[in-house]
Amino acid sequence: MAGHIKRRTIASNLDKVGETVLLEKIASGMTMAGLARELNISNLSLYHWIRKDPDREERFKQARTIAADQWADECLDIADASDSVSANADRLKIETRKWLAGVAAPEKFQAKPTAAVQVNVNQLHLDALRQLNLASSNPHESEQEVTIDITPPKQVGSHNLDADDLPGVFDDD
């Protein structure tokens, strides 16, 4: 029962501070934990107050999206002010802000997956040598032009799977 009284008191105090003031602090880049510290309340109490009203929760999500732009701007400022002495600490600050921005506004700041391309030059070289060896061992082809296919075999994954890549399913023969 005491927890409910305390929660109501905290909610009343947050209402007195004003939602607009709190939203401005969040939108300016203050973290929820920093805001809770400043208000001398627990993170959980702040989250309970925010989630009590679905419209308020949506406004706080929008403020966090605005904060993501702030964190991205801070990354640039940190990178510009970095020197050889503080480079490692600055890199950590930048990576943390990039992560926060990616969580707060994933459609804008989350890293996009990249296509991994792996080419084994040694294997291509060996395949070309084998083809040359086969061509030179056949005396009837010595007078003809030899064409060596050095294109790597197509690596099939779920990202580039076509019906043509399925063995025997759609073959017309």
Give the residue-averaged pLDDT of 25-34: 92
Kindly report, residue by residue over 122-138, the tens digit of the pLDDT: 888 888 888 887 766 66
Cα 54 from Cα 60, distance rounded (Å)? 10
Single-letter code of the amino acid located at 76: L
**Local confidence band at 14 (pLDDT 50, 70, 90 cut-offs):** confident
Cα 155 from Cα 64, distance rounded (Å)? 41
pLDDT value for 17 = 86
Cα 109 from Cα 98, distance rounded (Å)? 7
**Local confidence band at 15 (pLDDT 50, 70, 90 cut-offs):** confident
pTM (predicted TM-score): 0.56
| Cβ contact 63:26 at 8 Å | yes
How many degrees, rounded to 5, is the angle at CA 82 between CA 77 and CA 85?
160
Cα–Cα distances in angstroms (integers) from residue 131 to residues 125, 127, 138, 150, in the given order: 10, 6, 11, 10
| Cβ contact 36:55 at 8 Å | no
**Local confidence band at 1 (pLDDT 50, 70, 90 cut-offs):** very low
